[in-house]
Amino acid sequence: MFLVGSRWLLRGGLLGSQLIIGVISLMNPPYVPQRWHQFLIYIGYNIVAFLINTFLTRILPTVTKAALFWSITGFVVISITVLACASPNYSPPDFVFREFINETGWPDGIAWLLGLLQAGLGLTGFDAVAHMIEEIPNAAVEGPKIMIACVAIGVFTGFVFLTVLLFVAGDVQEVINSAAGPMLAILYNATGSKAGSICLLIFPLVCLLFATTSIMTTSSRMTYAFARDGGLPASRFFAKVHPRLDLPLNALYLTTALVVVFGCIFLGSSSAFNAIISASVVALGVSYGIPIAINCLRGRNMLRPRPFVLPEWLGWAANLIGLAYVAVTTVLFLFPPVLEVTGSNMNYCVVAFFLIFVIATIQWFVDGRKNFKGPKFDAHALEHGEVIGMPREKGKEGE
């Protein structure tokens, strides 16, 4: 799982670098992007995230609140601006809600299901709360509430934002073929201004920096917890908490190093890098499905008594729907994105996923089965909100 978490961390820097390359392409059409240009921007994103996680740990709660405010503000500002600028030249409702564009060669139903891979990225962040649970006051109640709030906010804002973008998109083929990327192309089509579209793009650019910072926090804590339970080589080293900074610095070093290594893979082969990204979605889905399946097979009787409990019928429904989703998407996400498969458009996700399985198996037999004793947790810490690596606000220690 710590490898999967590190690979999910790639997404923030990757998407941010793509948007910045798009800005350069929009302002300078003759520009030909080079892979190393994107790599340097990607490294820059992750260096900033590393520095924030290392030296500004005390303000991470404030950073998280600022990220939520910035994201919602960006959603409102972009939506209102593009609708106002594009008026009255909107795409017809029939195009937005009924027209199906399928250039994959797959039947429409399969093509729609394959499209869930991108949407599936939105489902891979909710477990961040679980990895940060030891740093959340009153975690047994607040943790589930945070997960539910994330889903509610994401569903509402995501649906509205996508609908708005489709209404103002303009020529679809122009958007698809734009060197600036689809997001910036839509903003430019809507506003008719390069400067205006770039100003609007600042909102997602900063959001991605916030996301990279938060994912690095989560991934390093996940690495620390796994090492603390004896699940990694050199677990003692990676489970150390820095005495002055009060955070698992060695785990943070490992997380950052893996991100750089995976970035170097991008320099050599974008196909291999994309396979790693895609495999992270599949692997996370499987990691969600395994404990849910075990719990369902035992009649959902494995969970401890807890203050936050869903109604029995809703718990079963959520678990069974989740398992069905994981079962279907785990298979479909291994399909090639288009028919007439070639070496360049082949989906190598299955190769990356197989390598994860091989590495995990070797690690288990060489080291894990002898040393892994977890998962461990401190019930008192969870109940009282005691934290590691994220000091609480003054005056709350006795809660």
* CATH class of the structural domain 2-372: mainly alpha
3-state secondary structure of 30: coil
Helix (H) or strand (E) segment spanning residue 147:
helix 139-167
Q: Which of the four pLDDT bands, split at 50, 70 and 90, describes residue 138?
A: confident
Least confident of 66-75, 151-160, 279-288, 371-380: 371-380
Residue 131 has a pLDDT of: 67
Look at residue 267 and tell me whether its pLDDT is greater than 90: no
pLDDT above 90: percentage of residues in the chain: 20
- Average the pLDDT over 222-228 and give the result: 84
The model's pTM is 0.80
Q: Which of the four pLDDT bands, split at 50, 70 and 90, describes residue 386?
A: very low
- Which DSSP string do the residues of 259-285 spell out, in sequence order? HHHHHHHHHH-HHHHHHHHHHHHHHHH
Question: pLDDT tens-digit profile of 51-72?
Answer: 999 988 888 888 888 988 999 9
The one-letter code for the residue type at 362 is I
Query: Nearest-CA neighbor of 117 among 293, 269, 325?
Result: 325
Residue 94's CB: how many other CB atoms inside 10 A?
8
Question: pLDDT tens-digit profile of 281-314?
Answer: 788 888 888 989 998 998 888 777 888 888 889 9
Look at residue 190 and tell me whether its pLDDT is greater than 70: yes
Judge residue 116's burial from the number of C-beta atoms within 10 Å of its C-beta, 0-12 exposed, 13-18 middle, 19 or more buried. Answer: middle
Q: Which of the four pLDDT bands, split at 50, 70 and 90, describes residue 8?
A: low
Chain length of the chain: 399
Check residue 131 and give left, alpha or beta (phi > 0: left; psi -120 to 50: alpha).
Answer: alpha
